[in-house]
Chains A and B, each alone.
Chain A
Amino acid sequence: MSGFFSALFSALDPLCGPVGLFSLFGSGSLVACGEAGWGDEIAFGVKVTITLAIATLPVGLVIGFLIALAAQSEDKLLKLAAGIYTTIFRGLPELLTLFIVYYGMQILIQAVLASFGYEGRVEINAFFAGMAALAVVFSSYSSEVLLSAFRAIPRGQYEAGDALGLHRSRTMLLVILPQLIRIALPGLTNLWLILLKDTSYVSVIGLADILRQTGIAARVSKEAFFFYSIACLLYLILAMISSVGLGFVERWAKRSEGHR
């Protein structure tokens, strides 16, 4: 079964598959697939970029949701704790956050292992470090979006949930969350596009994403302008696809509102 799916995916590969962009128009040029060109390497980079962004999204959303819950709670201490989180991670450059997470985790893990008596060098996975750093940044921004969505939901909705005898968690799940998603969706769409762009930073710590792969191709082939244009074009296409897709999602989320 998995063989069938992998065959299906390679057949539908939009860059290097049988009907892919690079295989149709790039054969014989620098972006040909296979040994002749850089097409398959760049296609791999696209896959890494998309995987990283999609893997980061749920983690960042969940952390952001928790932070937003904390920021709108009545407890002052919890509010303060959430405020510190968003202030720090919205104020730091994404690149610096990435380095701090990457090297910080390495030092931390090394220290923990050293206390167990292991004295080797620890090399942390660049994908995981990139995911953690991007999730932290994404969550601090998404918490702001979700917080303003929370504020847009009137108190009466919670009270109605209480009046119906729903438990607080049921109210959140059945009454608040569907409205919250609808209100927050435009803001989250923006954040997704920003996340997609921010994935380019992981190329600096050595993850083989679009920018890293095109950079290697540019250095080897000495055609820097061509390859970096391709990188920009790929990011542009990804942004276009996501904004079209998210447009559908937004219309789907608004289906119950009717025409106004």
Chain B
Amino acid sequence: MSYVKELIPPRAPPALAVRSLAPARVAGIAVLLLWAALAIALAFMMINGWDQDKFQRYGPRYLHGLWTTISLVGLSVILGAILSAPIAFARMAKNKVLNSIAYAYVYVFRSTPLLAQLFLIYYGLGSFRPQLESVGLWWFFREAWYCGLFSLTLNTAAYQAEILRGAIESVPRGQHEGAAALGLSKRNAFRKVILPQALIVALRPYGNEIVLLIKGSAVVAIVTVYDLMGETRYAFSRTFDYQSYLWAAIFYLAIVEALRHLWAFIEARLTRHLKR
């Protein structure tokens, strides 16, 4: 019988293979250099092509366009949230008819492009002018701004209804039962137990939806609403200066990034009791 009499003495680990320039690092530096070159080129283009006259003429228009975009998106998010509640409840209802109507609404608005919906409302409903005039709604559908608001609202309502439904259904059954066991009425149980938990789940998708809507709202420029994109197109059609698009890009990126960070802050603040 043999056994180990002496252990192998401890040895130093093999030297780490030091690769000073890994392919990943080379690629990273190359792409970053590319980004830097692009940024410098853009900055150069902006400084070189700086025109005080253009700035004075189009600067205020851009700010006005920014305000139009923000008010359009803000209003349609609020109106869409109001409209989404009944749709979400219809979608959760046991009634087959109600359920399928809500499902059809959501399906149609989520699987057709916003641009087509906008054209359908702005140009399409325009061909029903006599009927609309007799109902007294023509003032609404005549204005491109109202049509943009209307189509954005209908569109976001469909998305928000799905978010709301998903969030409410994500609350476990036990919460309903617990509330019932405590003798809370259905109404109170929903308001005080289900909804607060659902809204925390819905917070992140709501943020994404607002970002998507800000980006989607650029389409209203095509039906002659002078939002940020509309003013940009106006400035470009007058000056043929490529900078006009770059300024719009800066504005949009600034809004979206600001909103993203604000939303992350709100979420961290509202869910601080859930942190472990």
Q: Which residue of B lies closest to A67 (CB)?
A: B31
Q: Are A201 and B32 in contact (CB under 8 A)?
A: no
Interface residues of B in 238-255 (CB under 8 A from A): 242, 245-246, 248-249, 252-253
Q: Are B111 and A239 in contact (CB under 8 A)?
A: yes
Q: Are A103 and B123 in contact (CB under 8 A)?
A: no
How many angstroms between the C-alpha atoms of A215 and B119 in the bound complex? 9
- Among the stretches B80-88, B166-174, B194-202, B211-219, the one at the interface with A is B211-219
Q: Are A223 and B127 in contact (CB under 8 A)?
A: yes
- Knowing A198-B113, A228-B123 are in contact, say whether A100-B245 is a contact too (CB < 8 A): yes
Q: Mark B55-70, 1 if CB is under 8 A from A, else 0.
A: 0000000000000000
- Knowing A92-B249, A236-B112 are in contact, say whether A204-B222 is a contact too (CB < 8 A): yes
How many angstroms between the C-alpha atoms of A81 and B35 in the bound complex? 8
Count of interface residues, chain B, beta-carbon cutoff 8 Å: 48
- Knowing A74-B24, A228-B120, A229-B120 are in contact, say whether A91-B111 is a contact too (CB < 8 A): no
Q: Are B249 and A100 in contact (CB under 8 A)?
A: yes
| Interface residue? A70 (CB, 8 A) | yes
Q: Are A92 and B252 in contact (CB under 8 A)?
A: yes
Q: Are B252 and A96 in contact (CB under 8 A)?
A: yes
Q: Are A232 and B116 in contact (CB under 8 A)?
A: yes
Q: Are A211 and B242 in contact (CB under 8 A)?
A: no
Tell me the smallest distance from the CB of B142 to a CB of chain A, in Å. Answer: 14
Q: Are A92 and B253 in contact (CB under 8 A)?
A: yes
Q: Which residue of A lies closest to B33 (CB)?
A: A81
Tell me the smallest distance from the CB of A171 to a CB of chain B, in Å. Answer: 16
Q: Mark A230-255, 1 if CB is under 8 A from B, else 0.
A: 01100110011000000000000000
| Interface residue? B178 (CB, 8 A) | no
Q: Are A201 and B115 in contact (CB under 8 A)?
A: yes
| Interface residue? A40 (CB, 8 A) | no
How many angstroms between the C-alpha atoms of A218 and B127 in the bound complex? 10
Q: Are B242 and A96 in contact (CB under 8 A)?
A: no
- B115's contact among A90, A200, A222, A225, by CB below 8 Å, is which? A200
Tell me the smallest distance from the CB of A151 to a CB of chain B, in Å. Answer: 17
- Knowing A81-B31, A225-B120 are in contact, say whether A235-B242 is a contact too (CB < 8 A): no
| Interface residue? B98 (CB, 8 A) | no
| Interface residue? B29 (CB, 8 A) | yes
Tell me the smallest distance from the CB of A157 to a CB of chain B, in Å. Answer: 20
How many angstroms between the C-alpha atoms of A104 and B248 in the bound complex? 14
| Interface residue? B108 (CB, 8 A) | yes
How many angstroms between the C-alpha atoms of A203 and B114 in the bound complex? 13
Which residues of A are found within 8 Å of B117, using beta-carbon distances?
A: 232
- Knowing A93-B218, A95-B219 are in contact, say whether A235-B111 is a contact too (CB < 8 A): yes
| Interface residue? B27 (CB, 8 A) | yes
Q: Mark A54-74, 1 if CB is under 8 A from B, else 0.
A: 000000000000000010011
How many angstroms between the C-alpha atoms of A70 and B115 in the bound complex? 34
- 13 A-B pairs with CB atoms under 8 Å apart are A75-B27, A77-B25, A91-B257, A93-B214, A93-B252, A100-B245, A200-B113, A201-B219, A224-B119, A228-B123, A231-B120, A235-B116, A236-B111
Instruction: Name A's B-contacting residues (CB within 8 A).
Output: 70, 73-82, 84, 87-88, 90-96, 99-100, 103-104, 107, 193, 197-201, 203-204, 211, 215, 218, 222-225, 228-229, 231-232, 235-236, 239-240
Instruction: Name B's A-contacting residues (CB within 8 A).
Output: 22, 24-25, 27-29, 31-32, 35, 107-108, 111-117, 119-120, 123-128, 211, 214-219, 221-222, 229, 232-233, 236, 242, 245-246, 248-249, 252-253, 256-257
Known: A73-B28, A88-B253, A96-B218. 13 other contacts (CB 8 A): A75-B25, A75-B28, A77-B29, A91-B253, A94-B218, A95-B221, A100-B246, A104-B245, A201-B219, A203-B115, A218-B124, A224-B127, A236-B107
